[in-house]
């Protein structure tokens, strides 16, 4: 008896469940039968009609799960309640079959839950191919996007790389340090004040001569940080590979059409002109990004070409940014790869009480947490340090080298 070991396992995915079942030499048929029982998920639904919530609760109770509702739900003294569903994947599957036959919007709620569970159980896998290079998002190997600012006024490194030779050397160094993507921006979009706005013509004057010279030095895909369709089209025509739109296709109505025309990946970021979140910051971001995805698909962008970015630091307080970091995994609901741009941001400086050039450790911590929360692309200034951190995180999470 003294040799018996008892441990608690935190199983968050079907893949992990299968791994643990196989480790104990479970019969293959048993693995297939029990993997859904080993994964427990809690889903929160806001502002649900109480009469529908009561049916939801009874449905899950009948399958061995449960639903927490407000105290006024049972007697219908109020119209709405928020709910917490607590169940294994097996119980969800059984309950969802029944929900599809229920009234009061429960069919639609069931369909949304089904879609969310499908998205969160497997990180999106994408292979983006161009004539001379490829980018693989497999959910296991984290990708690092190195930042090249051709601007005089960026918040972190403004003016550092607006000479051609310096910019090329920086691109070559970032690739040597392990960058999987190079992101080039020619207009400052500083999160805290938006930076100095410039015209599309001025942005192209800054960007295109550099891009033409930089592309031959890049063996990895090049992303263009712009929200202007005219700039995006000129860059893509020159040979750029990805568009990174800080306004999520919602600033320039022509941007979606340009991205669709060139059939390239696009990063859609959450942004606002003011800090105001009546629904809460997480709900606002999900709603905004859902709209960005819908706009893109409506204009012909392939769903698999859309990558989402919650927009850390853009129209958000320090508290907002901390909340977002703690709940990054919720954006998996949208079914798109997640990019995180937390590098050297102001919230790190606030927590650590450090200036922008001393925020490396905070950036590394943010990327490490992002990896755990499902982030697949990390946009950073300090490529080598973050790349090494993520290689270690990837190996530990996979439990292999």
Residue in 264, 225, 246 with CA at minimum distance from that of residue 133: 264
Q: Which of 206, 344, 379, 387 is catalytic?
A: 379
What angle, rounded to 10 degrees, do the helices at 106-121 and 50-62 form? 60
The strand ranges marked E within 226-324 are 242-245, 266-269, 306-309
d(CA 210, CA 163): 9
Q: What is the DSSP string of 163-189?
A: SHHHHHHHHHHHHHTT-SEEEEESS--
d(CA 253, CA 231): 13
φ/ψ of 255, rounded to 5, equals -60, -45
Residue in 207, 205, 132, 214 with CA at minimum distance from that of residue 170: 214
Q: Are 208 and 238 in contact (CB under 8 A)?
A: yes
Which residue is listed with tokens 């995805």? 293
- The question of whether 15 is a catalytic residue gets the answer no
Q: Which of 126, 345, 346, 373 is catalytic?
A: 345
Which residue is listed with tokens 């895909």? 221
Which residue is listed with tokens 């599309």? 200
φ/ψ of 98, rounded to 5, equals -70, -40
- The question of whether 126 is a catalytic residue gets the answer no
| Per-residue tokens: 90 | 């097996």
Q: What is the DSSP letter of 107?
A: H
Q: Are 161 and 361 in contact (CB under 8 A)?
A: no
Residue in 16, 94, 29 with CA at minimum distance from that of residue 59: 94
Residue in 240, 128, 134 with CA at minimum distance from that of residue 186: 240
d(CA 332, CA 291): 15
Neighbour-count burial of 149, counting CB atoms closer than 10 A to its CB (0-12 exposed, 13-18 middle, 19+ buried): buried
Neighbour-count burial of 399, counting CB atoms closer than 10 A to its CB (0-12 exposed, 13-18 middle, 19+ buried): exposed
The residues annotated with a catalytic role in the active site are 345, 379
């Amino acid at each position: 008896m003294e040799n018996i070991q008892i441990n608690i396992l935190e199983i968050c995915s079907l893949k992990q469940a299968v791994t643990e079942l196989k480790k104990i030499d479970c019969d293959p048929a048993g693995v297939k039968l029990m993997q859904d029982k080993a994964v427990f998920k809690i889903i929160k639904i806001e502002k649900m009609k109480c009469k529908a919530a009561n049916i939801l609760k009874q449905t899950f109770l009948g399958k061995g799960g449960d639903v927490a509702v407000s105290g006024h739900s049972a007697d219908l003294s109020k119209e709405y309640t928020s709910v917490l569903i607590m169940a294994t994947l097996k119980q969800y599957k059984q309950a969802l079959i029944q929900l599809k036959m229920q009234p009061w919007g429960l069919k639609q709620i069931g369909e949304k839950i089904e879609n969310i569970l499908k998205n969160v159980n497997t990180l999106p896998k994408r292979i983006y191919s161009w004539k001379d290079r490829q980018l693989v998002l497999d959910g296991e190997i984290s990708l690092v996007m190195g930042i090249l600012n051709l601007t005089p006024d960026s918040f972190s490194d403004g003016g550092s790389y607006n000479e051609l030779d310096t910019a090329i050397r920086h691109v070559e160094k970032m690739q040597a340090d392990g960058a999987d993507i190079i992101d080039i921006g020619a207009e400052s979009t500083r999160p805290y004040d938006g930076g100095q706005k410039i015209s599309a013509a001025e942005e192209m004057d800054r960007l295109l001569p550099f891009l033409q010279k930089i592309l031959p030095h890049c063996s990895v895909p090049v992303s263009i940080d712009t929200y202007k369709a005219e700039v995006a089209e000129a860059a893509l025509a020159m040979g750029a590979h990805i568009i990174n739109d800080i306004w999520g296709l919602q600033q320039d109505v022509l941007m979606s059409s340009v991205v669709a025309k060139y059939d390239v990946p696009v990063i859609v970021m959450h942004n606002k002109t003011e800090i105001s979140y009546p629904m809460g910051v997480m709900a606002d971001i999900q709603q905004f990004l859902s709209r960005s995805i819908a706009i893109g698909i409506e204009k012909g962008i392939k769903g698999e070409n859309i990558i989402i970015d919650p927009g850390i630091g853009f129209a958000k307080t320090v508290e907002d940014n901390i909340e977002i970091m703690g709940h990054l995994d919720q954006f998996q609901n949208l079914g798109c790869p997640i990019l995180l741009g937390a590098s050297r941001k102001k919230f790190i400086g606030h927590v650590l009480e450090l200036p922008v050039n001393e925020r490396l450790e905070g950036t590394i911590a943010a990327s490490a947490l992002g990896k755990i929360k499902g982030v697949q692309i990390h946009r950073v200034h300090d490529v080598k340090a973050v790349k090494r951190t993520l290689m270690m995180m990837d190996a530990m999470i996979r439990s292999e080298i």
